[in-house]
Amino acid sequence: MSEQMAEILATLGHVERLNVFRLLVRRYPQAVAAGELARVLGYKGSTLSVYLSVLRRAGLIHQDRAGNSLLYSADMHGAGGLLTYLFDDCCRGRIPGLVGDGSIIGASVENTHKFNALFICTGNSVRSIFAEAILRAEGRDRFDVFSAGTRPYSEINPMTLQVLRENGHTISDLRSKTIGEFQRFNSPRMDFVFTVCDQAADEECPTWPGQPITAHWGHPDPVKLEGPEAIKLMAFRETYQSLARRIRPFAQLSFNALDRASLQSKVDELGRLPLCA
């Protein structure tokens, strides 16, 4: 066991291999093509191939094939084994702030207050705005909901507003915002942070205070679809419906009956749902 754990630690002790693993964790449970990993991280294909091989050998990532493409995803069981070893065996349960099962102390979510939820994408013009509006409608008694973009400036796409009106949402108080609004000392403390586009998940964001539950529910950007206006509008509607398929069951979870690990598992399961019904 010690030799196996030492190999994992040595694997993650290399900063560029660590960068690969951290990106796959941010995109979890999504699998990412090797070419996309190389592009996002700026690594040569041959170099990345070596890193992926080492990470696979250490049991930290999975490899799958889709057609001619190799797809990679984080193996959270492998990472969990390392943490369990460090806590229970190596440190004999003496790491401050953790309990024996690896959960954060006090992480049992009590249903005694409204939760703060933040949806992030690059532009805050379509997907995160959809998500904000949907969760506001579905969980108005349980959530205060926000959205933001990683770009310095953006505007809500007119087709976003059209689809929201079609689905009966109030749009008067929706606006495009940047992530900086929620990283100030007096910003609301988030209980949940979701990325809804791959590019936002790829970016290195500061750690959120309070250790919120995080998840990646990536959706393609309907703005990038080329074609007639009717085809584009259909893509916006499909994006809305795909987000709603995740957000509606999320809003109905029994938060007071779930510990942190169970809740994280639930939101990751929702991230695995196919984009279209």
* Catalytic annotation, residues: 121, 197, 205
Rounded to 5, what percent of the chain is helix, strand, coil?
45, 15, 40
Q: In this structure, are residues 98 and 105 in contact, taking their beta carbons and an 8 Å threshold?
A: yes
Give CA separation, 186 vs 20, 116, 190, 257, 270, in Å: 33, 14, 12, 30, 31
Cis ω before 249 (30° cut-off from 0): no
Return d(Cα 171, Cα 161) in angstroms, integer.
7
User: Which tokens sit at 208?
Assistant: 């959120």
List helix spans (H) across the chain.
2-12, 15-26, 34-41, 45-57, 76-84, 127-138, 158-166, 198-202, 229-251, 260-271
The CA angle 145-149-155, to the nearest 5 degrees, is: 100
Counting every residue written for the chain, the total comes to 277
Q: Is 89 helix (H, G, I), strand (E, B) or coil?
A: helix
Beta-bridge partner residues of 131? none
The SS3 assignment for 74 reads strand
Short-list 94, 240, 273, 106, CA closest to 162: 240
Torsion angles phi and psi, residue 149, rounded to 5: -120, 155
Query: Count of CB atoms within 10 A of residue 108's CB?
Result: 15
